[in-house]
A and B are shown apart, each in its own frame.
Chain A
Amino acid sequence: MKIKYNLTKVLLICIGSMGVIFTSCKKSLELDAPLNKIDASTAYTTDATATAAIGALYNYGIYGIFNTWLANLSLLGGISSDELHFSYTTTPAISEFENNLITPANGTNGTFWGSAYAELLVANAAITGITASNTLTPSVKSQLLGEAKFFRAFVNFYLVNYYGGVPLTGSDPLTSATLPRSTSAQVYASIISDLKEAQTLLPVAYVGTLKSRINQHAVTALLARVYLYQKDYVNAEAMATAVIGSGTYTLATTNSVFVNTSTETILQFATYYGYSAVATSYRTAIATATTVPPNYTLTTSVVNSFDAGDNRKINWVDSTVSGTKFYRINKYKLYTAATAGAGNEFNVILRLAEQYLIRAEARAQQNNLSGAASDVNVIRTRAGLANLSTTATATQTSILAAIAKERKVELFGELGHRWFDLLRTGQANTVLSVIKPTTWNASRSVLFPIPDQQVQQNPALTQNPGY
């Protein structure tokens, strides 16, 4: 039976060759990254891709989470304190912040927490990736690593102030997922360590125009604030002096502080369209001739704190003209623009005025009352006001009170300053228990709750007291 023999041979050859083909299949299943993605292992191999990865820290999508987070830094802090009022009580997720009675299931709080960590993952991945990379140009590597460390410190700073000690996460998501909380001191140590390293890594010169990339002064400015919060007044003063004394920045007139060409800005995050996402969140309607209240109205507590003739009230506050008068934050004035360019507005993160107020407070705390007064007066002069009265500068207590009030009217609506000032100076209970007598709780309300879903999913997370 010759046929059978041939057949077996042919069959064997065919099956054999298919086997060979198939074993070679495995290789052909390997895919290159699609054109709109790159393989994680190559993200930090070139200056261009590493820079793109750092770009994500600045703009995790214009409609994405980081911008919402930035806006919420200002808004949630604002309504938690005595600064802003949220008009739509039918949206309990936000009203709960105003009442300092946040349910752990609050969705806005959950997103706020999650967005911070999404940003931290990008920063941590960049720090790990850039550190490990040996193909980057040294100056670029230093710049990018510095920026990533700044961002990690920046986000951790807000997390520790809103939530207390939080998990210090790393670049591997599944490892980070189960970490417990670190103590508040550990988080601050990490922040200071990151910022100090960033200071040495970053040059004084900005990359590009419009001060929208982090430079050494920006790191120093944030470090000044961190030291102030830590009550390390010597270092706080030193850092603020370094920024003020650099001569790079000068105070702008009040109507041009938030323009992206402002001489006062130390750091701003550019936006794609050239207007601030924070600004658009403040209000529902652009026109003043409306009966509809804006999303967030400025409280009378802030409005009444301005001295007569304060240019900041004139230029930074406006109000609706029909029906009930609603005061609105008017620091940012652009609500629409086609594309970003010089003369538009970005999200201002750090500016010179805060540095004067930090130094004033640090000096006052060190009993350098005249030094403190001169710093406050710089700010008052720019606002078109007279110097502090002699009564105000008479004692440490009185000048600290003057500084606190100056911060209230200078920094309102910006990145939660008022809320943190009340907390770190121990004023929160005194001030807020009066305004919100039924809902304020001295032990609970000073921290936001850890989102309950997170506590369920990560048993190592402990809830804040009172929740």
Chain B
Amino acid sequence: MQKSTKNGALFSLCPIGKIPLVMKLAFTLIVISCLSVSALPVRSQDVKMSINLKNAAISTVLKNIEKSTPYKFVYNNNVFPANTKVSIEANSLSVAEILNNVLKNSGFTFKLLGDNMIVVTKADQRVQTQRIAGIVVDEDGIPVPGVTIRFRNDKRTSTATDANGHFGIQSADDNDVLIVSLVGFKTQEFAVKNIPSNFRIIMQSSIGSLDEVQVIGYGTTTRQLNTGSVSSISVKDIANQPVSNPLAAMQGKLAGVQITQNNGLPGSGFRVQIRGVGSIGSGTLPLYIIDGVPFTLFNGSIPATDGLNAYGISGANGGEASPLGMINPDDIERIDVLKDADATAIYGSKGANGVILITTKKGSAGKTKYSVNFYQGAGTVGHFIDMLNTQDYLAMRRGAFAASGATPSTANAPDLVTWDPTAYTNWQQKFIGGTAHTTNADFSVSGGNAQNTFLFSSNYRHDGTVYPGDFGGNIFSNRLNAGHNSEDKRFGINLNVNYAYQHNVMPSTDLTSLYNLAPNLPLYNADGSLYWHPSVTNPMAYLMRPNDNTTTNLITNMDVHYDILPGLVVKANLGYSLTGEKQTLQTPLTSLNPSTVNLAAPSNTLRYANNTISNYIVEPQLAYRRKIAKGSLDALVGSTFQRTQADGLSLTGTGFSSDALIGSINNAAAIVNNGSNNSDYKYNALFARVSYNWEDKYLVNGTFRRDGSSRFGANRRFGNFWAIGAGWIFTNESFMKDISWLSFGKLRGSYGLTGNDQIANYQSDAYYNAVGSASSYQGQSIIFPSNIPNADLHWETNKKLDAAVELGFLKDRIFLKADYFRNLSSDQLLNIVVPTQAGISSYLANFPAVVENKGFEFELSSTNIQSKNFRWTTSVNLTIQRNKILSIDQPQKLFSTYYIGQPVNAIQLYHFTGLNPATGVPTYQDMNGDGAVTFAGDRSAAPLGHPYFGGLTNSFTYKNLTLDVSFLFNHRMGYINNSSSYPLGVGLSNQNATALQRWMTAGDISVYPGVTSVSTADYSNYNSSDANWGDASFIKLKNVSLNYLLPNQWTKKIGFNTVSVFARGENLYTWAKQKYTYDPESTVSGAAPGLGTGQFIAMPQLRTTVIGLNCTF
């Protein structure tokens, strides 16, 4: 007892004279509520004391009481007039009696609060205080820790629920409103005067609701109040899918967002397009931001890719590693995709291609929670291409020689002359017919209290391949999140540290490309040695050339904030990331044709590359919030300092005296520097946002950013970007109150200007390049003028318009969001061709061409059935978009041919007019009538049809069983047979089954040309004609997830909070019009930027099924 009285000294030690009493009280109450945890309440009637003072100041009396009892007094320091003296003589009286005596005629009164606190005020001041205590539980009745409890008016008082969901808080004003909030739950408000004792608050999940927190640039809003176009997926959608890269979990889930994976091998890259391609020649990568840190591996290489590999080596997976492959999907809380000007203009010259904000999980207050998630499964290639068997293949080949009158020889037709005509190998089964094993384990521990929170998580993942041999990838990552708030909540800090290690071993070449080997190709000689023919690399050689790739990634960020004054917060975001990729590619002697190997100077090689990219960002900000009239104003100003540095080395070592020494470049007889990368990029910005919300009816949001990038020329280094967004929630108008079926209605629109800066570094100033050692002159390095400088180089301008309606029907059970958008990209950053007599053939400049992307986006979610035990929800998204070049000024100044009125990536095709029935030779329309079919004059734009894409997810819950089924679809025109090559039979390549329908004899009616062993343009043009163009639509059964949550009473018995078992399937089935490819979404890494169209042969995303277990305790 004696000890606790020391606390009373706090008040006399802290003279807080000039601040109004109300504030002091409020401050007091905060301290009280904090102290209440430790101080045991004492009943006033239990404490009696003796006191004897004459002509003492009232404050002296009070100090005396403090010394002798556990009570503490709260009063304003100079409140008692100096001339008021009192005398008291008491023996074993209660404190209340003493005080009544002392203050009797002083004009002061007192009130005993909980926790032994006594407030002394002037008698005419009425202090209305009320202690509110209660418990917060979730919909299942489980206590929720870490819930923030605060007041609307009294901003200085707040608390959080403890580990058992309990809270206690003192209200100083009956008319205040209590606000109960936690991320992921709907925020609730209660009038203080109506709050019962032992208040029980039930939190309702906000996911999918209008109160769901929506992360936007430099802040958050809610779905209800957002004025911009944002699509999001949350932890639930991500967790359902057994993927290693969070981008894979986003496929088909978001309107306006198209994502394809280059191939299905571990570590392969992704292509992402948000609302189409705005740039003709520069990068179209979205801006990725993880917890405030921009995260990309784009290092100024051209074409723009998200791969350090631009200066490295590629193995079978292409090596164009997606940076997000280093982020464990299990660590992600939510992903928000910003699409329109309102949402993206705050990112200025980086916002044009859309922004993907990734928010990772944070620790939360409460009992320490342990979580384990484990799954294991297997993947296979879902679809093989139907190829000719040996008999049909050889018939085709013989026919080809017969048609052209050529004689098969050992040189040009070993398959007919020397190889066993009865041998047959199904190469697809042999090289990609295996099973890829996947193992994924996540472990996390999180918890904390009202002030400190933490989260540790760790992930291990192994992905095998369907190749023979020991190839695959491993990822290991650890993450720490720690947060702290000061006692008074004015200061807060949050830190994330994530380190990931990825190691992939792949063959040098994607073995998928072996699908068309001659079916009777022998692999081995009779003596067991590898068989070699000058025209064919023995496919076993590819298995001997491993590409070893080690990627490490550190990403860390710290957020700090401090409330300077009510409503005014100063904060800073400090981030750093460092990504490294080390690769080797071995070509041992044993993998080379011995007849071409010079044993005197062995041509075995090791390629070695080591690239790193580091990035820091510092963003000080100031946020201000206050009520003005009937609305609330939110303002934010901030600035950005960012720097990205990339460094890389690429070497080739040759002449290893033995293959055993090939592992290290140190053992090479000669090392050549293939050229290395070194670049530096700086970026600064000043940004501001003001938003005003009038009674949740009228919303206005203005954004401005001025930024400068080191990529731009001295004359145009800084640019201004802005946006205006507005919303009208018409269902909050009084005249809408009677329409009960429409629970929510909002109209919103935005217009603004963003930019694109994805060009190579160092284009605006004049430089001399140094190049690798192979370009030295007699051991002396050389430099040469490398570019034509352009001081006017600046961002691509992207003007975005968005108009949308959001409607909730039947208490939001059905929710529809429909957007119309139109983006105009001008000032296109392109290589301008100059006459080569200049000495350099082109330079980068802003070109007056305009590209338009416009379309409609729909997102619909509905709860179809909601009963006690069964719930069925559906969400659908659909995007219809068009890309068109509106204008090009002086198109001859461009390298490639672009067509006004056509998409940026328009494809020009010959028009197939049928086969010559007598010869089987394809014929084409001579469009310009010059008597010859030429590349330049006789092609026209491929028809586009009416493309649209989207996804459909159904979720069924019956008691503890949940089934999620997701489809994605893409309706489009495209190449319809990409694995036939014409003329059939010309080389040692097998063909797919369409070869059986080829023209064979005069008079045959067919669309597939006949065979010959001599190629002519007529045959080779066939694949570039509209004969090979048509409906290339597809639907993928992307994901099926079955989850069973073990009944609570069982899991409690074994000491777990929750235990669930699950089975998940990924890429289970594809219905594709295009049967002659593996995956309609794959592409070849390093190919032109843009989405995968399945046109190239690449490893498909695997049909993967896993089973697993998830438990928390």
In angstroms, Cα B840 to Cα A110, docked, is 13
**What residues of chain B lie closer than 8 Å to A18, measured between beta carbons?**
620, 622, 637-639, 686
**What residues of chain B lie closer than 8 Å to A114, measured between beta carbons?**
836-837, 841
Interface residues in A428-467 by Cβ distance below 8 A to B read: 451, 454, 456-458, 461
**What residues of chain B lie closer than 8 Å to A10, measured between beta carbons?**
564-565, 568
In angstroms, Cα B601 to Cα A339, docked, is 11
In angstroms, Cα B776 to Cα A37, docked, is 14
B36 part of interface (Cβ distance < 8 Å)? no
Which of A28-36, A131-139, A236-244 is the contact stretch? Answer: A28-36
In angstroms, Cα B679 to Cα A26, docked, is 19
Give the residue of A7, A29, A167, A173 whose beta carbon is less than 8 angstroms from that of B708: A29
Could you say which of A10, A11, A34 has the most chain B C-beta atoms within 10 Å of its C-beta? A34
Could you say which of B622, B670, B677, B837 has the most chain A C-beta atoms within 10 Å of its C-beta? B837
In angstroms, Cα B837 to Cα A457, docked, is 10
B513 part of interface (Cβ distance < 8 Å)? no
**What residues of chain A lie closer than 8 Å to B679, measured between beta carbons?**
34
Which of A57-65, A190-198, A410-418 is the contact stretch? Answer: A57-65
B676 part of interface (Cβ distance < 8 Å)? yes
In angstroms, Cα B716 to Cα A26, docked, is 11
Interface residues in B665-706 by Cβ distance below 8 A to A read: 669-670, 676-684, 686, 706
Which of A47-55, A220-228, A250-258, A348-356 is the contact stretch? Answer: A47-55
How far apart are A50's CB and chain B's nearest CB, in angstroms? 9
A122 part of interface (Cβ distance < 8 Å)? yes
Give the residue of A15, A41, A62 whose beta carbon is less than 8 angstroms from that of B775: A62
Interface residues in B603-641 by Cβ distance below 8 A to A read: 620, 622, 624, 637-639, 641
In angstroms, Cα B582 to Cα A338, docked, is 26
| Known contacts A35-B678, A122-B839, A338-B601: A208-B778 contact under CB 8 Å | yes
Give the residue of B564, B681, B684, B833 whose beta carbon is less than 8 angstroms from that of A25: B684
Asked if residues B778 and A39 are in contact (CB atoms below 8 Å), the reply is: no
A377 part of interface (Cβ distance < 8 Å)? no
How far apart are B609's CB and chain A's nearest CB, in angstroms? 15
Asked if residues A36 and B676 are in contact (CB atoms below 8 Å), the reply is: yes
B780 part of interface (Cβ distance < 8 Å)? yes
Give the residue of B624, B769, B782, B838 whose beta carbon is less than 8 angstroms from that of A176: B838
How far apart are A349's CB and chain B's nearest CB, in angstroms? 14
| Known contacts A14-B622, A28-B641, A173-B839: A51-B780 contact under CB 8 Å | yes
A202 part of interface (Cβ distance < 8 Å)? no
**What residues of chain A lie closer than 8 Å to B761, measured between beta carbons?**
34
B570 part of interface (Cβ distance < 8 Å)? yes
**What residues of chain A lie closer than 8 Å to B31, measured between beta carbons?**
none
Asked if residues B837 and A117 are in contact (CB atoms below 8 Å), the reply is: yes
In angstroms, Cα B564 to Cα A3, docked, is 11
Asked if residues B686 and A22 are in contact (CB atoms below 8 Å), the reply is: yes
**What residues of chain B lie closer than 8 Å to A189, measured between beta carbons?**
none
In angstroms, Cα B718 to Cα A249, docked, is 62
| Known contacts A37-B767, A38-B768: A454-B686 contact under CB 8 Å | no
**What residues of chain B lie closer than 8 Å to A340, measured between beta carbons?**
778
How far apart are A44's CB and chain B's nearest CB, in angstroms? 9
A259 part of interface (Cβ distance < 8 Å)? no
In angstroms, Cα B770 to Cα A33, docked, is 11
Which of B44-52, B193-201, B784-792, B1054-1062 is the contact stretch? Answer: B784-792
| Known contacts A3-B565, A36-B678: A176-B837 contact under CB 8 Å | yes
B1088 part of interface (Cβ distance < 8 Å)? no
A6 part of interface (Cβ distance < 8 Å)? yes
Give the residue of B680, B706, B778 whose beta carbon is less than 8 angstroms from that of A270: B778
B762 part of interface (Cβ distance < 8 Å)? yes
A127 part of interface (Cβ distance < 8 Å)? no
Asked if residues A22 and B639 are in contact (CB atoms below 8 Å), the reply is: yes
Asked if residues A272 and B836 are in contact (CB atoms below 8 Å), the reply is: no
In angstroms, Cα B620 to Cα A233, docked, is 78
Asked if residues B684 and A457 are in contact (CB atoms below 8 Å), the reply is: no
Asked if residues A3 and B566 are in contact (CB atoms below 8 Å), the reply is: yes
Asked if residues A120 and B770 are in contact (CB atoms below 8 Å), the reply is: no
In angstroms, Cα B784 to Cα A176, docked, is 17
Asked if residues A60 and B784 are in contact (CB atoms below 8 Å), the reply is: yes
How far apart are B919's CB and chain A's nearest CB, in angstroms? 21
Closest-by-CB residue of B relative to A120 is B839
Closest-by-CB residue of A relative to B706 is A22
Asked if residues B835 and A29 are in contact (CB atoms below 8 Å), the reply is: no
How far apart are B716's CB and chain A's nearest CB, in angstroms? 12
**What residues of chain B lie closer than 8 Å to A35, measured between beta carbons?**
678
In angstroms, Cα B833 to Cα A416, docked, is 30
**What residues of chain B lie closer than 8 Å to A458, measured between beta carbons?**
835, 837
- A residues near B (Cβ < 8 Å) are 3, 6-7, 10-11, 14-15, 18-19, 21-22, 25-26, 28-41, 43, 49, 51-53, 55-56, 58-64, 110, 113-114, 117-118, 120-122, 124-125, 166-167, 169, 173-174, 176-179, 208, 210, 212, 270, 272, 336, 338-340, 451, 454, 456-458, 461
The 28 listed contacts between A and B (C-beta, < 8 Å) are A7-B567, A11-B622, A14-B637, A22-B686, A25-B708, A28-B641, A29-B708, A31-B762, A32-B680, A37-B767, A39-B765, A41-B766, A52-B781, A55-B777, A56-B782, A60-B784, A114-B841, A117-B836, A120-B839, A169-B839, A174-B788, A174-B834, A177-B837, A270-B777, A272-B774, A272-B775, A339-B670, A457-B892
Beyond the given A34-B678, A43-B768, please list 5 additional residue pairs across the A-B interface where CB-CB is below 8 A: A18-B622, A31-B710, A64-B775, A270-B778, A458-B835
9 tightest Cβ-Cβ pairs between the two chains A and B: A121-B839, A114-B836, A40-B766, A55-B782, A56-B784, A25-B684, A173-B838, A55-B777, A177-B838
